[in-house]
Amino acid sequence: MKSRHFKLNFKYMRVLKSFQILVMLSIFFLAPVVTQAQTDKKADELKKLETSVATAKAKVALNERQLNVADSLITSGTQLIAESKTETKAIEADRKKLDKDNATKQKSLSKLTTSKDKDEASKARVDLKALDVQYKSDSKALSIRSKDATKMMSTGNANMTKGKATKKNAQDALKISRATLATAQAKYDAASASGDKTITKDKKKK
């Protein structure tokens, strides 16, 4: 009876031993697979975070370009307004001089038209007509310059208005994009550092 009981125990021990060996082998073979899977998962996560950083950097660069465009519009607008004001003053000065010179010549020629000398009077009338034609031509040229100066002022004001609005939007967007980049970079750095520590631990275990 004892012999039979001993045989059963021995058989049970052998089965148990075989099972233990099987479990150990399974762990031995599965461990690298699990480790590799974890490594791949971390690599994928790191890649996604890297993409997020790249996207955030691109957004910051875009907002910075928009800000530069806005500054250029403001600078251009300021220059056009200044040029328009300078040109307007010059036109006003030229118009005053034209009117003054025309009035002086017209007065002188008008006197000559009443001269007793018929030839002199006739020539004065011809010169008076020529003076009037020249005056109208010069006035027209000044009017064209004045319109151009007004157009320049309008363009300058439009550039200033657009530039200021664009700058405000670009500054707000840049503030957000920089914050997004800082967050994305921090997450990437943390994940990268965590990955480096894991690799170091694995090397130490080996």
Do 26 and 97 fall within a single domain? no
Residue 168 lies in a domain: yes
- Sorting pLDDT into bands at 50, 70 and 90, what band is 155? very high
Do 109 and 174 fall within a single domain? yes
Residue 36 lies in a domain: no
How far apart CA 95 and CA 106 sit, in angstroms, is 16
Do 97 and 176 fall within a single domain? yes
> Could you tell me which of 38, 47, 50, 52 has the C-alpha nearest to residue 199?
38
Q: For the chain, what is the domain count?
A: 2
Residue 141 lies in a domain: yes
User: Exposure string (b/e) for 69-101, b if CB count within 10 Å is 16 or more?
Assistant: ebeebbeebeebbeebeebbeebeeebeebeee
Do 17 and 97 fall within a single domain? no
Residue 133 lies in a domain: yes
Do 100 and 24 fall within a single domain? no
CB of 191 closer than 8 Å to CB of 45: yes
Give the domain range for residue 18.
Answer: 1-30
Residue 43 lies in a domain: no
Residue 152 lies in a domain: yes
Do 92 and 164 fall within a single domain? yes
Which pLDDT belongs to residue 11? 57
pTM, rounded to two decimals: 0.66
pLDDT digits (tens, 9 = 90+) for 52-107: 999 999 999 999 999 999 999 999 999 999 999 999 999 999 999 999 999 999 99
- Sorting pLDDT into bands at 50, 70 and 90, what band is 122? very high
Amino acid at 37: A
Which pLDDT belongs to residue 193? 82
Residue 175 lies in a domain: yes
Residue 67 lies in a domain: no
